[in-house]
């Protein structure tokens, strides 16, 4: 048992060390805020911070250059699964929300115009729930997230071809009051 404990501690130490040394791949801003007491204080906190999410202050919500300005996640036809390449975006928003427990977000689910309207309401709902689950897994409190589905009723792009439809199969993160 002693051996396992030692190894575990060593691994954690290594991981922390690794974290502190990675550069910010997504971040742009230099100033970074501590991630929070939950992770505990650690040595070597640099301006690039945790995972390179950049500024997670509420002000960054109104910053068009902030990665948080990306608030739409797209979906494949008849699917409510978040694509691999969209996960980091969701995680970033999760990080932001977790860092700002007073901020609420509404996840608005949509579908393209094909097929039955009420079924598309259900699809939009499944998509919003998908994103919500991901946020909650990342530590976002349930009270911060609400979902609503508009089905095909509020397309982002009016059009009757795949390029329009692809843009309408989405979940939009709408920060309440921002």
Contact positions vs another protein (CB under 8 A): 78, 113-119, 121-123, 125-126, 129, 147-151, 153-154, 160
Going from the C-alpha of 91 to that of each of 53, 54, 67, 95, the distances in angstroms are: 9, 13, 12, 6
The set of residues, in sequence order, having a beta carbon less than 8 Å from that of 161 and lying 6+ positions away, is none
CB of 156 to another protein, least distance (A): 13
CB of 61 to another protein, least distance (A): 20
Sheet holding 145-151, edge to edge: 72-74, 170-175, 105-110, 145-151
Measured from the CB atom, the residue of 35 and 127 that comes closer to another protein is: 127
Residue-wise over 57-94: b if at least 16 C-beta within 10 A, else e? ebebbeeeebbbeebebbbeeeebebeeebeebbbbbb
Measured from the CB atom, the residue of 96 and 165 that comes closer to another protein is: 165
CB of 80 to another protein, least distance (A): 9
Q: Which two tokens stand for residue 34?
A: 């501590």
Torsion 90-94-95-100 (CA) sign: positive
Measured from the CB atom, the residue of 36 and 122 that comes closer to another protein is: 122
CB of 89 to another protein, least distance (A): 24
CB of 94 to another protein, least distance (A): 20
Measured from the CB atom, the residue of 11 and 116 that comes closer to another protein is: 116
Select from 77, 74, 88, 27 the least CA-distant residue to 53: 27
Measured from the CB atom, the residue of 55 and 112 that comes closer to another protein is: 112
């Amino acid at each position: 048992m002693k051996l396992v404990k030692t190894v575990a501690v060593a691994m954690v130490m290594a991981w922390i060390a690794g974290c502190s040394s990675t550069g910010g791949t997504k971040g742009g801003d230099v100033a970074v805020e501590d991630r929070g007491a939950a992770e505990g204080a650690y040595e070597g906190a640099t301006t690039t911070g945790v995972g390179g999410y950049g500024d997670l202050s509420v002000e960054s919500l109104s910053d068009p250059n902030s990665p948080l300005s990306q608030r739409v996640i797209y979906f494949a036809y008849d699917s409510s699964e978040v694509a691999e390449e969209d996960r980091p975006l969701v995680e970033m928003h999760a990080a932001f929300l977790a860092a700002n427990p007073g901020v609420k977000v509404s996840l608005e689910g949509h579908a393209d115009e094909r097929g039955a309207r009420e079924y598309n309401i259900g699809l939009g709902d499944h998509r919003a729930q998908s994103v919500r689950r991901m946020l909650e897994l990342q530590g976002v409190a349930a009270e911060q997230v609400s979902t609503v589905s508009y089905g095909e009723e509020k397309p982002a792009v009016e059009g009757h071809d795949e390029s329009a439809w692809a843009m309408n199969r989405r979940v939009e993160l709408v920060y309440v009051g921002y």
